Chain A
Amino acid sequence: MEEFVLMKGNEAIAEAAIRAGTDGYFGYPITPQSEVIEYLAAAKPHERTGMVMLQAESEVAAINMLYGGAGAGKKVMTSSSSPGISLMQEGISYIAGSELPCLIVNVVRGGPGLGTIQPSQSDYFQSTKGGGHGDYNLIVLAPSSVQEMADFVGLGYDLAFKYRNPVMIQTDGALGQMMEKVKFKPQQPRSKKSPDWATTGKTSDRERIIITSLDLDPSRQERFNEKLQVKYRTIVEKEVRYEKIQCDDAEYLFVAYGTSSRICQKSIQMAREEGIKVGLFRPITLWPFPYNEIREMTGQVKGMLSVEMSAGQMVEDVRLAVEAKVKVDHYGRMGGIIPSSEEIVEALKQKIIGG
C-alpha cells in the first residue's frame, strides 16, 4: 500500500509523470513551476524507468521536442508558466493540427507580459479558446488539490492518447507551490508498443508515415478540419468533468475552479452561517466546459457568481451556459492577488443577492 506523502504540487506532478510511464519530459525553467524539472533532474528518472529528461534552450524548442517525441508515438510532457506557454502556442497548434498526444502543464502566473510570479487564472481564454492559430481545442483539466495535480497526469495521458489530442493541465502558482498530502499510484511501466500512426522507421509491411498538419488543397484541408470538429464534438459529449459541492439545497451558486474553488468552499461555510444557501459548481474540464450541467442548475438557483483570479474569463462560458435564465456576475482579483473568502461572500451579497 502506498502511503501519503507531503509534497508541493509541482513536485507531485513530476513524481506522477515518472509513475505514469512518461517517456520524455522537455522543459525550460520558469517561476513558479521550476520544481517540476528540478524534481525530475534529482529523481534520476532515467535510472528508474528509462525516462528521458532534457532542459531545452527555450519553451519554443521544448514544445517542438514534444512534437518530435509525440510523433514517434511516445508519452511526452512539458510544463511551464504563462509567458512560457505563450511561447509554446505555435507548437501547440502544430501538435493539435497533426493530431499528436502530449501533456502540457501550465502553472499560471499573473500577466499580461512579464506580469508577476504570483498565482493567477488569467490564462483561461488562452487555454480554452485556442491560444495558437487555427480551429483547434485542447482538453483542459483544472486540478484543485495536490492530489489532483498528481492524478491528472495519468488521466491527461489517457485522454491524449484516446483522442490523439494535446491535453493541458491548467493549474496556478498557489497549487504548484503549496504542500499537501498526496498518495501516488504505483509505477506504470513505459509502453513498449508504438501506435500504428507513429514514425518509427518505414518497414516493408506498411506505407511510410508522415506527421504533418500541411495540406495546400483547401477542400482537403476543410475535410480535415471537419474531421477534427467531429473529434471535438465526441470529446464534448463524453469527457465533461465537474464536481458539485453543497448544491442540493443551494439557492445561489459559486462557479470556480482550481485555487478559487478552494476559497469558495470557505465562503460557502461563512455564507451558510449567515443563512445564505450557496453551493459550488467546480468545472474540472475547462474544455470541454460543462455548459449543460451549469444550465441545469438554473432551475434551482437564483444567481451565479463566477469567481476567478482574472478580470472575468470563465464567466463568459457561464453566461453562455445560463442563457440569461438567471443572473450571472463575476468576482475576481488580478495581478497575482488571491481573493479572500470574506471578499467573495461580500461580492455574492452585492452582485447577486442584492443586485
Chain B
Amino acid sequence: MAENAITTKELIKKENLVYQKTRLLTDDVMHYCPGCGHGTVHRLIAEIIEEMDIQSEIIGVAPVGCSVLMYNYMNVDMQEAAHGRAPAVATGIKRLLPEKYVFTYQGDGDLAAIGTAETIHACNRGENITMIFINNGIYGMTGGQMAPTTLVGMKSSTTPYGREVSQMGNPLNMTDLVVNLPGTYFVSRQSVHTPGNVRKTKKALKKAFEYQALNKGVCFVEVVSNCPSGWKMTPLESNKWLAENMLPFYPLGDLKVPEE
C-alpha cells in the first residue's frame, strides 16, 4: 500500500465523497450484461431527473426489448408499453397530463421496426415528449437477431453470413428521418462508449428534458450503443467496434438545435 493511500475510515467520511449513486435509481441489481450501455443511459436519465428535481412530475414509458424492466431501476412512475407502442402510450399520457414530463425509452427494434409508425407520427404531430432511442444494431433480448439498424455485412443470428442489402435492405437511420419532421424540436445522436461521450450524452439528454417544458415538440436523442453479448465481443472490443463501424454510419452530434 502506498504511503499516501487513503484509509477506509477516511474514505467513508462525507467530505471525501466524490460521487454517489443518484437516489432516482433503485437498489435493484440491473440485469444488463457486463459492458452494456443501457445501465449508463439509465443512470444519466436518473441523474438528470434528480438535478431538475422533477421526480414528482415525470412519467416514463418502457419498451419491449432489453430495457423492458427499466421500471425496476428508475425510481419514477412508469408504464410498460407493448412492443413499439411507447410513443402512442406517451401521447395518451401527455395529452391528458400536459403539465407533466413524459419520456419514452426504446431500442432499435421497438422504435425503428415494429413501432416505426408510432415513432414517425408522434414526431410529426410534435408531441411534447422526450424520446430516447438506444441503437445497438441488434435485438439483444431475443438473442441477437437482425435489427432495422444492423449495419450492412454485420452478422446476427438471422443474418449469420452478414446483412445482405439485396435480401434485407439497408439499415434504417431513424434519427435522420425524424430530424426532417417539423414536429421535432431537438434531435441529437450521441454514444456512451467513452467517458467523454457519456458526458456529451448527458448534456444532450438534459436539453431533451429541459426543452420539453417549452412545449415545442418532440425532443429526440439517439444513443449509439453496444451489445457485447449480441455482437459476441468483450465490452472493450465492442466499444472499439462501435467507434470503427457504427459511428461512420451513425455519426454523432446535434442534428437539430433550437434557434436561441
Query: Do A203 and B88 contact each other (CB < 8 Å), given the known contacts A64-B81, A67-B79, A72-B93?
Result: no
Chain B positions within 8 Å of A71 at CB level: 79, 89, 92-93
Q: How far is the CB of B109 from chain A (nearest CB, A)?
A: 16
Interface size class of B (residues with CB under 8 A): 20 to 34
Interface size class of A (residues with CB under 8 A): 35 or more
A146 to B76, CA, bound (A): 44
B110 at the interface (CB under 8 A from A): no
Residues 84-121 (chain B) with a chain A CB within 8 angstroms: 85, 88-97, 100, 117-118, 121
Nearest CB in chain A to that of B120: its residue = A57
B77 at the interface (CB under 8 A from A): yes
Q: How far is the CB of B23 from chain A (nearest CB, A)?
A: 11
Chain A positions within 8 Å of B82 at CB level: 64, 67, 90-91, 94
Nearest CB in chain A to that of B101: its residue = A201
Query: Do A202 and B55 contact each other (CB < 8 Å), given the known contacts A65-B88, A208-B76?
Result: yes
A327 to B131, CA, bound (A): 60
Query: Can you pick out 5 interface pairs between chain A and chain B where the beta carbons lie within 8 Å of each other?
Result: A26-B92, A201-B56, A201-B59, A212-B71, A212-B80
Chain B positions within 8 Å of A245 at CB level: none
Q: How far is the CB of B46 from chain A (nearest CB, A)?
A: 12
Chain A positions within 8 Å of B80 at CB level: 98, 210-214
Q: How far is the CB of B188 from chain A (nearest CB, A)?
A: 25
A40 to B60, CA, bound (A): 29
Chain A positions within 8 Å of B76 at CB level: 201-202, 208
Contact B93 A57 (CB under 8 A): no
Contact B55 A61 (CB under 8 A): no
Chain B positions within 8 Å of A353 at CB level: none
Chain A positions within 8 Å of B55 at CB level: 201-202
Known interface pairs A65-B89, A201-B56, A212-B71; 4 further A-B residue pairs with C-beta atoms within 8 A, sorted by A's residue number: A23-B96, A68-B88, A68-B96, A199-B59
Among B62, B79, B81, max chain A CB count under 10 A is at B79
Interface Cβ pair total, 8 Å cutoff: 127
B78 at the interface (CB under 8 A from A): yes
Residues 60-76 (chain A) with a chain B CB within 8 angstroms: 60-62, 64-72, 74, 76
Contact A69 B88 (CB under 8 A): no
Contact with B along A171-202 (1 / 0, CB 8 A): 00000000000000000000000000001111
Residues of B at under 8 Å CB distance from A?
Answer: 55-59, 61-62, 68-69, 71, 74-82, 85, 88-97, 100, 117-118, 121
Contact B118 A68 (CB under 8 A): no
Q: How far is the CB of B68 from chain A (nearest CB, A)?
A: 7
Contact with B along A285-329 (1 / 0, CB 8 A): 000000000000000000000000000000000000000000000
A155 at the interface (CB under 8 A from B): no
A283 to B81, CA, bound (A): 35
Among B57, B91, B94, B96, max chain A CB count under 10 A is at B96
Among B92, B96, B117, max chain A CB count under 10 A is at B92
Chain B positions within 8 Å of A69 at CB level: 92-93, 95-96
A219 at the interface (CB under 8 A from B): no
Nearest CB in chain B to that of A66: its residue = B92
A54 at the interface (CB under 8 A from B): yes
Contact A201 B57 (CB under 8 A): yes
A68 to B78, CA, bound (A): 10
Q: How far is the CB of A203 from chain B (nearest CB, A)?
A: 5
Chain B positions within 8 Å of A201 at CB level: 55-59, 76-77, 100
Contact B96 A58 (CB under 8 A): no
